[in-house]
Amino acid sequence: MKEMLSDSQYFGLILSLGAYIAGLLLKRKYKLFIFNPLLIAIALTITILVILDIDYQSYNSSAKYLGYLLTPATVCLAIPLYEQFAMLKKNLTAILIGISSGVITSCATIFAMSLIFRLGHVEYVTLLPKSITTAIGIGLSDELNGYIAITVAAIMITGLFGNIAGEFLCRITGVKHPVARGIAIGTSTHVMGTAKAMELGEIEGAMSSLSVAVAGIITVVAAIIFEGLI
């Protein structure tokens, strides 16, 4: 059984889609934030791989085809932004200040936590790109000589947290304006958070999409500046 699944060209693809569908069904039935489809899909996939004793390379060889859809899916994020272009022009200054503030806060938080927990320089720069999209984060971590695998894990955890708790945090902190909510979610939790922002509304999704790109660029500059602090 293990050999058959490991050699299958479709096992990883079917497992990934099936796990996500299971997460969607649980979310629709119980409507609890803990039953986030992404969280359920990750947990279920890992559990099945461990039970069947299938290594990641074998799984990824057949699941990698899903990755081909990431580029067109990312490009599609520009559509809601185009539709809300008038809103963007009207609030341009506030949007840029909001994104910049989010990036600086993220880097400053990593700096402070690194001092508190006495992390070394390599661990510190590894975590600096945690709030930007994976494509930019991997390149930045490599440029800063960080641990790329840990950077990817930090980015995924950050995005997953934003997808699960982004709306809740905006609600309890009193962030109600759709532009502000979109900027907050997109700047802090990149594409995975943007998926949630799009569920909240067109304006939130558009502003979050913009934040992913702009925050990535600003973070590259900010990380280089913060790198020398530890």
Query: Among 21-25, 88-92, 177-181, 221-225, whose mean pLDDT is lowest?
Result: 88-92
- Cα dihedral 170/175/181/186 (nearest 10): -60
Alpha-carbon distance 194 to 189, whole Å?
A: 7
Tell me: the pLDDT tens digits for 46-84? 999 999 888 888 888 888 888 777 767 767 777 877 888
Q: Note the pLDDT of residue 181.
A: 95
Tell me: the pLDDT tens digits for 17-37? 999 999 999 988 887 777 888
Q: Note the pLDDT of residue 1.
A: 64
Q: Note the pLDDT of residue 46.
A: 92
Residues 191, 212: contact at Cβ < 8 Å? yes
Alpha-carbon distance 57 to 51, whole Å?
A: 16
2 pLDDT above the threshold of 80: no
Alpha-carbon distance 191 to 195, whole Å?
A: 6
Tokens matching residue 39: 């969280």
| Confidence label for 223 from pLDDT (cuts 50, 70 and 90) | very high
User: Domain limits of the chain?
Assistant: 2-70, 78-227
- Average of per-residue pLDDT across 197-208: 90
Tell me: the pLDDT tens digits for 122-146? 999 999 999 998 888 989 999 999 9
Residues 181, 200: contact at Cβ < 8 Å? yes
Alpha-carbon distance 163 to 137, whole Å?
A: 18
